[in-house]
Amino acid sequence: MLTKFETKSNRVKGLSFHPKRPWILASLHSGVVQLWDYRMGTLIDRFDEHEGPVRGIHFHPTQPLFVSGGDDYKIKVWNYKTRRCLFTLLGHLDYIRTVQFHHESPWIVSASDDQTLRLWNWQSRTCIAVLTGHNHYVMCAQFHPRDDLVASASLDQTVRVWDVSALRKKGAAPGGAGPPSDDSMRLPPINSDLFGGSDAVVKYVLEGHDRGVNWAAFHPTLPLVVSGADDRQIKLWRMNESKAWEVDTLRGHVNNVSSVIFHAKQDLIISDSEDKSLRVWDLSKRVGVQTFRREHDRFWILAGHPSINLLAAGHDSGMIVFKLERERPAYALHAGTLYYVKDRYVRSHELASGRDVPLCALRRNPAAAYNQGARALAYNPAEHSVLVWSDVDGGGYELYALPREPAAGKDGGAGAEPRRGAAAAAVWVGRNRFATLDRGANALLVRDLAGEVTKRLASPLAATDGLFPGGAPGQVLLRGDDRVALFDVARRAVVAELAAPGVRYVAWSDDGTRVALLAKHCVTLAGGRDLADPASVHETLRVKSAAWDGSRVLVYSTLNHLKYALPGGDGGTLRTLPDPVYLVRAEGGAVHCLDREARPRALRVDTSEVEFKLALAARRYDAVLALIRRGALAGQAIIAYLQEKGYPEVALHFVRDERIRFGLAVECGNVEVALASAQALDDRDTWYRLGVEALRAGNAAIAEFAYQKTHSYDRLAFLYLVTGAADKLAKMAKIAERRGDARARLQAALYLGDAGEQARVLEAGGQPALAYLAAARAGLGAEAERLSEALDPELRRALDAARGGDLPAPPPVLLREANWPLLTVSKGFFETLATKDAGRDRERGLDGGAGVAADAAAVVADAALDMEGVGDAWGDDDQLLASGDEGAVYDDGEAAAGSGGEGGGWDLDDDLDLPSSPTGGAGAAGGAAAFAAPAPGPLPEHGWQARAALAGEHFAAGGFEAGARLLRAQLGVVELGPLRALALDAAAAAHAFVPGLAGTPALGVGLEAGWGEEGGGAAARLPAPPATLARLEEALRRAYRAVTEGKFSDALRLIDGILHAVPLVVVDSRKGVDEVRELLGIARDYNIAVRCELKRREARDDPRRAAELAAYFTHCALQRVHLALSLRSAMSAFFKLKNYATCATFARRLLDLQPDEKMATQARQVLAACEKSPTDAVQLEYDPRNPFDLCSVTWTPIYRGHKFVEDPYTKARFQPQAEGQLSPVGGLSRIGLEASGLVCSHTQLR
């Protein structure tokens, strides 16, 4: 039995599968009806309007309805979409046992303890027939799947079959049949209700059970009825047109049989009982073939899915959904021919032609148990033979030599007897050799074609439980301990290993360069030759199978989807599946597969998305463009993918929405396209963001245009200052004057160095003293004299004394370029394409080219602004001047220009001498699609990451991800949090910054190790090491001092700092490597010892535990002075506990260390007292005679010879139950991970 889903709840009394969706209804003894999704394992809804147990439940075959019947005498019809009860049918006088919808007519049949069956029309909501005749509780009633029959089972020891064909004829009568028939349908006579009408009559009464019958069910296709009763027997009955008779009795249950049904697809009977067992019976042989038991739960109900191989059983504490056997066919593919097992035949199917023939029949022992389907098949093209493996009775293989001519196998019996043997798995490893797995001996057995063992190999994994084919001849893939290992049989060596828990199936690419490892909910992709570069894809639903399309794309199937995965970890969905399939081969848009009936099928899929992602990764932009123009791709998912992968310029070609185009253009730095989108959107936020991004990109022309659109006067003034546009600054001063903005006017005057204007602004603003000071410092004698007349003489003298020398004018801007100079580079594919498209649009006279650079330039050129007026370029007709008489500010010429414009304010006709193209710069000079780009010289630090080989060097070079991967491989580091600050400090310490010229940023200089040393050429240079051995030794000395002083928390902090820094240490000799390892061992021992002492202090309220920890502390590898202190502490604790025998051992060890006189005197006194009574009052978990290591997770000893697991970094030992936890020694690595070991010197790599 394969359990697919299980629930825990009150006793389940009724079950019903939905015919189409993966749903099941469960009615509980508590009165609740639960709706479950058994595929996802989730509770969808619950319905709880019944009072008391609900025993009957059933889904409608086609409508969104279900019916329930309970101990409250009510039948309720529900709509699960609206989640409410539609109506209630009343009429039964006692508990309702079962309810069921008819498969065609609008009928419900119900069985009740009132000894009747009732037929209801759920559309008219009336009872149309009452079937009486039983003289005890009616436990079950069911419609026949095709005929107008009803079967009922009762505690009166009979099964009755009722003929209800008269009801169908009555319901099919014409509408004008007359009032009598209408009345009889709507209001049945009272005698019909009491004694039963003539519409339903008993056809057969099946007698034979000795006690009450609990269940009866029809066969789906044959004229058979099966019944189960309290006499512990199951009876099989056959019917014809005139009679029914007992065929056989099945015995085996030891308590009441609760329910019994026929299997929907196989010749099987399934029964459950109050003896806590489920039994499967062979219908043809009428013998039991399987039994499944639960320890504490009685079974009450069974249900079968109408179309797929699923069953459900309800018991005292919930329900289970299960299969009787696996439906995955065994198959293998070679050179376009599929070899697979179907109906106990090995068949071949040519994928190209569709030719399908049987090759040979599988031999089976007639006395063997049920469910012996083949689990795996492996084909050998050299010998034209197959290995068929099954997991029955611990597993076994059969070797068949296939006929060379398919016609020879049509009779199914031709061919030699197969070679058989026991094996947990079997795969081919050569043209005439195959390997089997002996799980008990944890060994591989290599056999010849006769099945004789030629070689026995010990498995490299501790507990190997799986064997799969390898990607190359002579290799196999082993599974065990949540890992897989690629093993070379000839060399008896492990080629590669990979952590991949729960691998069930393996799919190799045709060339063996890629492999996919399929687990229950995970797909892991890796390199086939060395299992390198693994990438995982996790799924919610079960993964069923996979096949490679070449070596670039893995196509895999789940329960209801066909998906793909790329080696980098990207993936997606190709199509949905109505039923699960098992993939055989993927070729472009065709996917060949087998369904659960082992029928070969070919599915068509759209691979445009896959081709697009592959072309993008390979930078084949012509293919990308072809897919875009074909319109095969669309949607937010593709745009999000392009943004995530760093291709916003490609995403621009998908998008027509201007707001999204604007965001993408800003992201990829294409301010010209952003300008066109901003023109279309024309809102303040967009213009503001465009100005910020244009300035960041150094495009002053577009930044100026954006600032004009948002009326950002201050930004415009500063932009004109830094670009040296003094004439435009002067116009800004005029604009500020007309706007009445004294602050902006003064700012412009300061930028221009116009002292006279500064004085006038300050004077108009009521600041004569500041106006005088500005004029006087600028050397404007007449103006200063005029302003001084209004000042107090004393104030004037004070100002003259404080003003200092004359104020020089601001220096002129030397580089008056509007845009930043740009390095000449080659345009990208899509940038070139945009330029060409824009040219074609202009030739055609189209207005759709605003999204490209040339049209963006035209926009700015056409919108050149005169800064003397405030007009439409600043935002429609909004009035920006303080006075309505705008013409008064102009002279005659300006007034004429202003009156002829679109509105008052800043006239657009005055030319500001904007550049003809806002995209200027060195890159725009050529005008061609491609430019010759000079190669900039690399900075020294650019080669650091490529040359770095140690983790510390990677961190210093800024390669944090590479360093983290190296630490995981070497030391099993999984927690990088403690290393974050050290890694950032290492990267910062490898650089120095030299101040540059005034107004320029500092220059960064990489600090390299070995600078200036002989032989230290540039090619061998690496970043300065982030941590040195001397610094760590100094930290260790401080930790020693803290331990001596009893400051254990401070000591632990220092020791953890050493443990965190050791992975980043770089030394230059083997001696240095040995010293680092010695330092690591000391830090590990002191970490455990200090934490043990802190744990002991926490356990002061438990003297027994405190004494154990004190004893463990004395066995840590410590300095002599610290060991003496620990022995004195343990001696004191054990003396107080009256464990004198053990206390004496501590006293002797302390005296052996030759401590100072005071400590030695105390030890001698304690030893003398203990020897008078050498006994222990308290039994402790401590044996001083047996060497041990201390587990710092459980704080228990690991005695020599006992199992343990190690921290891969510090090699600290732990109890086996700590495996998988984060090591407390340093808090970096995971206990039990395998790692290569610490590498801190280039000498270890030579």
pLDDT in tens, 64-113: 999 999 999 999 999 999 999 999 999 999 999 999 999 989 999 999 99
The rounded percent of the chain whose pLDDT value lies above 70 is: 79
Q: Select the highest-mean-pLDDT range: 183-187, 415-419, 1166-1170.
A: 1166-1170
HEC string for 1176-1193: ECCCCCCCCCCCEEEECC
- In the structure, what pLDDT confidence band is assigned to residue 789 with cuts at 50, 70 and 90? low
Q: CB of 985 within 8 A of CB of 1019? A: no
Taken in order 796, 798, 800, 803, the sign of the CA dihedral is: negative
> What is the residue whose two structure tokens read 């240095």?
1072
Structure tokens at 441: 């001996």
- In the structure, what pLDDT confidence band is assigned to residue 353 with cuts at 50, 70 and 90? confident
Give residue 716's pLDDT. 80
The rounded percent of the chain whose pLDDT value lies above 90 is: 23
Structure tokens at 1228: 């970096």
Give residue 257's pLDDT. 94
> Could you give the CA distance from residue 908 to residue 127 in angstroms, rounded to a whole number?
88
> Could you give the CA distance from residue 544 to residue 538 in angstroms, rounded to a whole number?
13
Give residue 914's pLDDT. 37
C-alpha torsion angle, residues 240, 244, 245, 250 (rounded to 10): 90
Mean pLDDT over all residues of the chain?
79
Structure tokens at 987: 């990267």
Least confident of 45-49, 277-281, 502-506, 790-794: 790-794
> What is the residue whose two structure tokens read 């050429």?
1017
User: By C-alpha distance, which of 1155, 1051, 1146 is closest to 1093?
Assistant: 1051
The pLDDT of residue 887 is above 50 = no
Helix or strand or coil: residue 321?
strand
Structure tokens at 1167: 């030893």
The pLDDT of residue 536 is above 70 = yes
Residue, of 109 and 529, whose pLDDT is higher = 109
Contacts by 601-604, CB closer than 8 A, 24 or more apart: 602/351, 603/562, 603/575
The pLDDT of residue 1027 is above 90 = no
Return the ∠ at Cα 143 (arms to 137 and 146), rounded to 5°: 160
Structure pTM? Answer: 0.57
Distances (CA, A) of 775 to 415, 749, 869, 1045: 118, 13, 29, 73
Give residue 180's pLDDT. 39
Give residue 116's pLDDT. 93
- In the structure, what pLDDT confidence band is assigned to residue 1011 with cuts at 50, 70 and 90? low
User: By C-alpha distance, which of 405, 338, 301 is closest to 58?
Assistant: 301
> Could you give the CA distance from residue 851 to residue 1149 in angstroms, rounded to a whole number?
87
Give residue 63's pLDDT. 93
Mean pLDDT throughout 880-901? 34
C-alpha torsion angle, residues 495, 498, 502, 507 (rounded to 10): -60
Least confident of 296-300, 994-998, 1058-1062: 994-998
Residue, of 45 and 946, whose pLDDT is higher = 45
- In the structure, what pLDDT confidence band is assigned to residue 648 with cuts at 50, 70 and 90? low
Structure tokens at 509: 């690419």
User: By C-alpha distance, which of 796, 740, 734 is closest to 771?
Assistant: 796
CATH number for the domain whose boundaries are 726-815: 1.25.40.470
User: By C-alpha distance, which of 624, 526, 614 is closest to 567?
Assistant: 526
Mean pLDDT throughout 249-272? 92
The pLDDT of residue 873 is above 50 = no
Give residue 440's pLDDT. 84
CATH number for the domain whose boundaries are 341-530+550-559: 2.130.10.10
Residue, of 1085 and 617, whose pLDDT is higher = 1085
Q: CB of 289 within 8 A of CB of 281? A: yes
The pLDDT of residue 297 is above 70 = yes
Give residue 777's pLDDT. 65
Mean pLDDT throughout 347-372? 74
Give residue 66's pLDDT. 95
Give residue 101's pLDDT. 95
Give residue 841's pLDDT. 44
Judge: domain 2-171+184-323, CATH 3.90.79.10.
no
Residue, of 373 and 590, whose pLDDT is higher = 590
The pLDDT of residue 118 is above 90 = yes
The pLDDT of residue 764 is above 90 = no
Structure tokens at 881: 């001047």
Q: Select the highest-mean-pLDDT range: 396-405, 897-906, 1079-1088.
A: 1079-1088
Least confident of 406-415, 552-561, 703-712, 1225-1234: 406-415
Give residue 125's pLDDT. 92
Give residue 364's pLDDT. 65
User: By C-alpha distance, which of 439, 448, 519, 433 is closest to 482?
Assistant: 519
Give residue 889's pLDDT. 30
CATH number for the domain whose boundaries are 647-725+835-919: 1.25.40
Mean pLDDT throughout 16-34? 93
The pLDDT of residue 664 is above 80 = no
Mean pLDDT throughout 425-448? 89
Q: Select the highest-mean-pLDDT range: 278-292, 391-405, 859-873, 982-996.
A: 278-292
Give residue 939's pLDDT. 66
Residues spanned by CATH 2.130.10.10 within the chain? 2-171+184-323, 341-530+550-559
> Could you give the CA distance from residue 544 to residue 243 in angstroms, rounded to a whole number?
48
Residues spanned by CATH 1.25.40.470 within the chain? 726-815
Residues 811-835 have pLDDT tens digits of 666 555 567 666 655 556 665 655 4
H helices then E strands: how many in the chain?
Answer: 32, 61
Give residue 19's pLDDT. 93
The pLDDT of residue 407 is above 90 = no
